[in-house]
Amino acid sequence: MSQLFGSNKNEEKVRTMEREMGKLGLADFFVAQNRRRVSFLDGVEAMVNWHRIEKLLKTTLGRTDEARSGVKAYPALLMFKILLLQQWYGLSDQETEFALLDRISFSQFTGLSLNESVPDHTTICRFRNLLVEKNVLKALLDEVNGQMARQGKLVKKGVAVDALTLLRQPVPANR
């Protein structure tokens, strides 16, 4: 995978998470230090201009996460990244909630610290419905896909495909 997306240093990932979330814990630091290879999600993180996506989210939703009173909402960009994981890996809302608890790579991709609570399945569902209601989900997905396509990458339900090289061999039919 490192050949597919280029190298990405653990230190850069730690600084990025710290800057975006401001809640990086000691456990996150040690996990990042112990990673030995670049994952598909690291490549996506490096490829996509998340500031552009975040700006679209804030403009569309008409609120900032900091301006809300009461229980602090999850950042919109974090929630959108969860929807991307759900789409790419073909997960239900409940499966996504579990995967966020179980898979360190998912937590790191979304920017969730290991000591933070994860959004439950109803929160994920409500956020997706909000984006559908505001008629922006397709535009956001198209933006991410467009950015990746301009770099010669294509993602379809859990399979990353380089536009120049097919990474998976066809599976023969039952014999």
Q: 27, 66 in Cβ contact below 8 A?
A: no
Question: Residue 35: what pLDDT?
Answer: 59
Question: Residue 26: what pLDDT?
Answer: 55
Parallel, antiparallel or unpaired: strands 153-156 and 159-162: antiparallel
Question: Residue 68: what pLDDT?
Answer: 53
User: What 3-state class would DSSP assign to 162?
Assistant: strand
Question: Residue 160: what pLDDT?
Answer: 47
Query: Per-residue pLDDT for the chain (175 aa), expressed as one digit of tens each?
Result: 444 444 444 444 444 443 344 566 655 565 565 555 667 788 888 889 999 999 999 998 876 545 555 667 899 999 999 999 998 888 999 999 999 998 888 988 998 887 788 999 999 999 999 999 999 999 999 999 899 888 888 766 554 444 433 334 444 555 4
Question: Residue 115: what pLDDT?
Answer: 78
Rounded-to-5 percentages of helix, strand, coil across the chain: 60, 5, 35
Question: Where in the chain are the domains?
Answer: 2-162
Question: Residue 29: what pLDDT?
Answer: 60
Q: Is 41 exposed, middle or buried (0-12, 13-18, 19+ CB in 10 A)?
A: buried
Q: 113, 24 in Cβ contact below 8 A?
A: yes
User: What 3-state class would DSSP assign to 154?
Assistant: strand
